[in-house]
Amino acid sequence: MLRNSVVVTGLGSVTSFGCGVEALWRGCLSGDDVTEPIPPGWSAYYTAASRKWAPLPPIDFQTHGFSRQDLLLMGMPSLLALSAAREAWLHATLPGDGKVEDAWRAGVFLGTGLGGAKAPFDNYRAHLLSGLKKRLEGALSMAPDDTLLAEHLSALQLHPRVHPLVICQTMPNAAAASLSIAFGIKGANETLSQACASGTVAIGRAYESIRRGELDIALAGGVEHLRDKAGGVFMGFDRLQTLARPMVGGEPENRPFDRRRSGFLFSEGGAGVLVLESATHARARGARVLAEIRGFGVNSDAHSMVALDEEGTAISRLYTEVLESAGLGCNDIDYINSHGTGTELNDSVESRLLERHFGQHPVVNSTKSILGHSIGASGALETIITVKSLEEQQVHTSCNLDDPIADLNFCLQSGPARIRHALTESFGFGGHNAVLILGRVLEDH
């Protein structure tokens, strides 16, 4: 480990397994099923082809140190990101008062795909229906015995309240700002939005900033929250035919890299936050190093808003550049945490490129085969899984992979693996490609 290297010293997450990285890691090793039928109310607005999702469990934020005031003011992305950041902070054994030593040399880098999309959906839905409600009320006053009309009206009992902070809750940068305020961080405060690659890009940008010597320490990761009252985000992805559809016989539909895949499992969201530091900073304060970030790269397909470039020219170039910047060859990569969504084209292109560049040596899995796709949070959660895999020398199973589409070394059963270097990658709507390479750090370093 070189003096100017960048290391990971803390991890925090909120996922369908609940709050905490340990719950996430154990859940992934067990391959536990987190899917549930979509909320019945969503079907009142739309008939979806996909029928399942991966919700978050109920979270009692007040037991996680949030005040009543926090809960009234903050949107879910801020609450989720702060929960994950507090865990990462404590995990990194940073000062208990929650403030950094040199606020100007600390940064926040947070990725999100849709920011606070839920806030306007929920706030303005009632207003869009209020005109209709007034007309029905007028009609009912003329015909008070019309029970069918009364029934229709009762279905529109939506109070047209607007939260005074709906704009702040909608801003994509609200979660990053919440972290900056909570931890007194005054250096960089950046929100990265590259759809499904957002979390990976955020961690990469933090890595670059520390490596250039601009910062000593950063909170970096991704957050997403996609549950709105009418299921508006879900229906958008469903309408685009990107979500996994029910299988005949009721078999699990979330099956990345399987021949019978039909789309990704929609996740309610979550948050993953890592503490990144310069090795010098970590060493000076006696922090335990979990992994080293060895390389990062990002580029763009310049091809389509929603589909990967089938040639994979940009991704191929990215592999070459990031490996070179890390001073590694393809054979040095022992584990690949794939993007692995379960969509027809994505898995086809990704598996072909992985096979071409890395062959059968690295063990490959898809964390989305368990958690589903949490868009802007996914890259951060998958980086956390990659750090845990390096640290514990174990790899979690890739679920529901009965008939693989490629001759890759897919992990079909969780277990031990010798991993020196690992690669994790994300590809986002709009053509964003991002790759991170991480390395194992032995205790005596």
Partner 1 sequence: MDKDSILATVRGLVAETLETDAGHVTAESRIREDLGADSMHVVTLIIALDEAFDAEFNLEEVPKDGVTVAWVADYVDRTLARAS
Tell me, by CB under 8 A, how many residues bind partner 1: 12
Minimum distance, C-beta of residue 161 to partner 1, in the bound complex (Å): 5
What is the C-alpha separation between 171 and 75, in angstroms, rounded?
Answer: 10
Residue 73 Cβ, how far from partner 1 at the closest point, in Å?
A: 6
- Is residue 303 annotated as a catalytic residue, yes or no? no
CB of 162 to partner 1, least distance (A): 7
Residue 436 and residue 211: Cα distance in Å, rounded?
14
Residue choice 58, 60, 68, 250 for contact with partner 1 (CB under 8 A) = 68
Q: For partner 1, which stretch binds (CB under 8 A), given 25-33, 64-72, 224-232, 315-323?
A: 64-72
Clarify whether 373 is annotated catalytic.
Answer: yes
Comparing CA positions, the residue from 176, 112, 200 lying closest to residue 376 is 112
Tokens of 324: 């070179």
b (16+ CB within 10 A) / e for 249-281: eeebbbbbbbeebbbbbbbbbbbbbbbbbbbeb
Q: Which is nearer to partner 1, 69 or 147 (CB)?
A: 69
List beta partners, residue 10: 275
* Cα–Cα distance list, 244 to 50, 260, 261, 431 (Å): 6, 10, 7, 21
Residue of 160, 184, 213, 415 interacting with partner 1 (CB under 8 A):
160
Q: How far is the CB of 67 from partner 1 (least distance, A)?
A: 6
Q: How far is the CB of 71 from partner 1 (least distance, A)?
A: 10
Measured from the CB atom, the residue of 131 and 249 that comes closer to partner 1 is 131
Given 196, 225, 399, 432, the catalytic residue? 196
Q: Which of 47, 63, 69, 147 binds partner 1 (CB under 8 A)?
A: 69
As measured in angstroms, the least distance from the Cβ of 72 to partner 1 is: 5
Choose, from 339, 357, 421, 432, the residue flagged as catalytic: 339
164 is an interface residue for partner 1 by CB under 8 A = yes
Window contacting partner 1 (CB under 8 A); options: 143-151, 155-163, 306-314, 421-429: 155-163
Q: Is 196 tagged catalytic?
A: yes
Placement of tokens 């997450």 in the chain: 13
Shortest distance, CB of residue 147 to partner 1, whole angstroms? 23
DSSP labels, 279-300: HHHHHHTTPPP-EEEEEEEEEE
When binding is defined by CB under 8 A, the residue of 49, 143, 162, 240 that contacts partner 1 is 162
Query: Among 22-30, 68-76, 296-304, 351-359, which window interacts with partner 1 (CB under 8 A)?
Result: 68-76
Nearer to partner 1, 67 or 360 (CB): 67
Name the E strands within 63-171: 106-111
22: closest CA among 438, 422, 417, 385? 385
Which secondary-structure segment (H or E) carries 306? none
Burial 91-128 (b: 16+ CB within 10 A, else e): bbebeeeeebeeeebbbbbbbbbbbbbbbbbbbebbee
Which run of H or of E encompasses 19? strand 18-19
Residue 72 binding partner 1, by CB under 8 A: yes
Q: Which of 94, 69, 99, 74 is nearest to 12 (CA)?
A: 94
Q: Out of 40, 60, 138, 159, point to the residue binding partner 1 (CB under 8 A).
A: 159
Single out the residue of 179, 170, 1, 154 nearest to residue 82, CA to CA: 179
Cβ nearer to partner 1, comparing 72 with 139 = 72
Cβ neighbours of 323 (radius 10 Å): 23
Q: From residue 309 to residue 338, what is the string marking binding to partner 1 with x (rule CB under 8 A)?
A: ------------------------------
| Residue from 373, 396, 421, 432 carrying the catalytic annotation | 373
Q: Where in the sequence numbering do the catalytic residues fall?
A: 196, 339, 373
- List interacting residues with partner 1 (CB under 8 A): 67-69, 72-73, 159-165
